[in-house]
């Protein structure tokens, strides 16, 4: 017997078997049964965690006046470095901010905010000296660190508000 053409339509999670005597037997195999709601819940939670980590960068993200509010609302804990290119202490602090971004990736959103290019939010938060680093939790400023200070001071501020 010769087959000219064969169309096969599979349903999700189906397996097809071809027997030696010719007929196709379709067997449905459920990989996650209806009773495995716990597995489905775990999978959904892990996907949400993965997406959150993907959104959290390993390097500080440049934030602007245009996306500041959205960024702060999107992430429960945010550390924003208000800086300027001409500021020596800001350049000295930059590697510390980058380290914090890597160390707290997936837990804290770390951003850099250039006050010369984005004066509106700097004025809203009354940032008159730079570098100024704000810790923002659930949209509200909870900590302000002004000046070039040791990394430990930033870590303490982050730890205090991670709960």
Note if the pTM is more than 0.85: no
Annotated active-site positions, please?
87, 90
Q: Which CATH architecture has domain 57-161?
A: 3-Layer(aba) Sandwich (3.40)
What pLDDT score does 21 carry?
45
Helix H or strand E encompassing 77: strand 77-83
User: pLDDT digits over 131-159, tens only?
Assistant: 999 999 999 999 999 999 999 999 999 99
Can you spell out the DSSP letters for 112-150?
EEETTT-HHHHHHTT--SSSEEEEEETTEEEEEEESS--
What pLDDT score does 12 carry?
54
Domain ranges for the chain, please list them.
12-55, 57-161
Looking up tokens 């914090």, which residue turns up?
100
């Amino acid at each position: 017997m010769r087959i000219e053409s064969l169309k096969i339509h599979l349903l999700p999670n189906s397996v097809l078997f071809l027997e030696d005597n010719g007929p196709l037997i379709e067997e449905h195999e459920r990989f996650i049964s209806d009773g495995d709601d716990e597995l489905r819940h775990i999978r959904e939670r892990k996907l949400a965690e993965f997406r959150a980590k993907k959104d959290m960068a390993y390097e500080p993200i440049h934030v602007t006046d245009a996306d500041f509010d959205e960024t702060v609302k999107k992430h429960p804990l945010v550390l924003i470095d208000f800086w300027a290119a001409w500021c020596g202490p800001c350049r000295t602090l930059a590697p510390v901010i980058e380290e914090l971004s890597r160390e707290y990736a997936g837990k804290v959103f770390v951003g850099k905010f250039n006050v010369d290019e984005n004066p509106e939010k700097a004025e809203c938060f009354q940032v008159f000296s730079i570098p100024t680093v704000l810790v923002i939790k659930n949209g509200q400023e909870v900590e302000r660190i002004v000046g070039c200070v040791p990394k430990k001071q930033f870590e303490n501020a982050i730890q205090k508000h991670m709960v």
